[in-house]
Amino acid sequence: AGLAELARHFGFTNSYNLDLAKEDIETALGKLRAELEEGPVLVSVFTNYEPEHKEGHIVVLLSLTDNQAEVLDPAAKNHNDIHQIIPADKFITSWKKRLIVVR
């Protein structure tokens, strides 16, 4: 449960984890986009958006188009770099198909 459970504790009663790891990428992306229609979500990605890094990282996904992903990355070294635009294909290959919805 982790972050979703913590969010519920603080009044975000419609918070939950969504593990789509067993879904094919198109199905997973469809579900991700449906959640994004309701607002930003937390997503699990590989560190630096590179699958060869086995470490995980969580970012806030604000939007995802065919061309780009807009994220807030708390690991940015500079406060001005927290808001990032990355290529959609880079995001998709680094996404672990797991997300946390906080509502």
Residue pair 18/31 in contact (Cβ under 8 Å)? The answer is yes
The answer to whether residue 74 sits within a structural domain is: yes
Assigned domain for 83 exists: yes
Closest Cα partner for 71 from 81, 80, 79, 60? Answer: 60
Residues with Cβ within 8 Å of 73's Cβ and at least 6 positions away in sequence, in order, are 57, 59, 60, 81, 82, 84
Report if residue 73 sits inside a domain.
yes
pLDDT digits (tens, 9 = 90+) for 56-74: 899 999 999 999 999 999 9
Q: Is the pTM of this model over 0.85?
A: yes
Q: What is the CATH number of the domain that holds 83?
A: 3.90.70.10
Q: Is residue 85 part of a domain?
A: yes
**Structural domain tally of the chain?**
1
Residue 12 falls within a domain, yes or no? no
pLDDT digits (tens, 9 = 90+) for 24-46: 999 999 999 999 999 999 999 99
Domain that holds residue 75: 18-101
**In-domain check, residue 44:** yes
Half-sphere exposure of 69 (CA within 13 A, CB side): 26
The answer as to whether 63 is a domain residue is: yes
Q: CA 73 to CA 81: how far, in whole Å?
A: 8
Put residue 11 in one of left, alpha, beta given phi > 0 → left and psi -120 to 50 → alpha: left
Element holding 7 (H helix, E strand)? helix 3-9
